[in-house]
Structure 1
Amino acid sequence: MTSPDPVLRVLVVDDSNTIRRSAEMFLKQGGHEVLLAEDGYDALGKVVDFEPHLVFCDILMPRLDGYQTCTIIKRNPHFANVPVVMLSSKDGVFDKARGRMAGAQDYLTKPFTKEQLLQAVAQLASTLRGG
């Protein structure tokens, strides 16, 4: 039996209220602290204030898309090691490659299940502990 995962602060960035609320419910059931942001600009302020261990970020958002948001987070030396997981309804090779170029660690296709979301958190938590 593995030891229980540590409580992580997770920021969920998505312009869809439904996606934000689903992710919040799943993550809280997994025992994590959750903060929500409606778009990239909202997310950037909350990254600074909240200092999340992990960020789930939608790609298609108004004002500042997920790629731009990820790039800005990764360019800040204080947050460069925070894993970012891109969320998208598209499951294309191009989208995944572009996410990696922006600095994303992983990619999750919407709609996601509770198991997929918590699995992504668990995988990244193990790299946080190891790193």
Structure 2
Amino acid sequence: MSENAAKHILIVDDEPNIVLSLEFLMRRRGYEVSTASDGEEALAAIEARKPDLLLLDVMMPRKDGYQVCQILRERDDTADLRIIMLTARGRDVEREKGLSLGADDYITKPFSTQDVVTKVRQLLGDA
């Protein structure tokens, strides 16, 4: 890690195992991590402290990932937030919807941890 402060990643997923594995992976790479388990919690967390990047699950209770992405893109203070959507639905139509709502990238579950790290590093300019 450079002398810059650690970049902050918010992981939003309602599956604890996925949150734990992503959190471990990102911390090991030197990122600061916080988590949320649904869309409402994610928006509150972003309100409290804007992350550098959001790993956002699509299928969640209390606002899904598409709704959260759309809300964030409509707000001036979060319009530039890096968003990678995570989904178990790998169909092109879901991918297109996520990208059209403003997601920067899209990862299908189950995912390779190396793919996630690579995409995060590319979007944060750490690659």
TM-score when normalising by structure 2: 0.92
Where does structure 2 lack aligned partners over 5 or more consecutive residues?
none
Alpha-carbon distance in structure 1 between the residues aligned to 2:62 and 2:41 = 10
Q: Which residue of 2 aligns with 1:45?
A: 44
- Tell me, yes or no, if structure 1 residue 93 matches structure 2 residue 87: no
One-letter code aligned to 2:110: P
Alpha-carbon distance in structure 2 between the residues aligned to 1:35 and 1:57 = 12
Asked if the contact 1:89–1:110 (Cα under 8 Å) also holds between the matched residues in 2, the reply is yes
Alpha-carbon distance in structure 2 between the residues aligned to 1:20 and 1:35 = 10
CA RMSD between the two structures: 1.7
Task: Name the one with the larger helix percent.
Answer: 1
Alpha-carbon distance in structure 2 between the residues aligned to 1:8 and 1:68 = 25
One-letter code aligned to 2:50: E
Q: Which residue of 2 aligns with 1:114?
A: 113
One-letter code aligned to 2:80: N
One-letter code aligned to 2:9: V
Q: Which residue of 2 aligns with 1:102?
A: 101
Q: CA deviation at 1:16?
A: 0.5
**Percent same amino acid among aligned pairs?**
34
Alpha-carbon distance in structure 1 between the residues aligned to 2:35 and 2:106 = 18
Q: Which residue of 1 aligns with 2:15?
A: 16
Task: Report SS of the residue matched to 2:117.
Answer: helix
Q: CA deviation at 1:112?
A: 2.2
Residues 35/75 of structure 1: CA separation in 2 closer, same or farther (3 Å cut): same
Asked if the contact 1:27–1:118 (Cα under 8 Å) also holds between the matched residues in 2, the reply is yes
Asked if the contact 1:37–1:46 (Cα under 8 Å) also holds between the matched residues in 2, the reply is yes
Alpha-carbon distance in structure 1 between the residues aligned to 2:18 and 2:41 = 16
Asked if the contact 1:27–1:117 (Cα under 8 Å) also holds between the matched residues in 2, the reply is no
Asked if the contact 1:89–1:111 (Cα under 8 Å) also holds between the matched residues in 2, the reply is yes
One-letter code aligned to 2:113: K
Q: CA deviation at 1:89?
A: 1.1
Alpha-carbon distance in structure 2 between the residues aligned to 1:119 and 1:23 = 13
Aligned length, in residue pairs: 125
TM-score when normalising by structure 1: 0.89
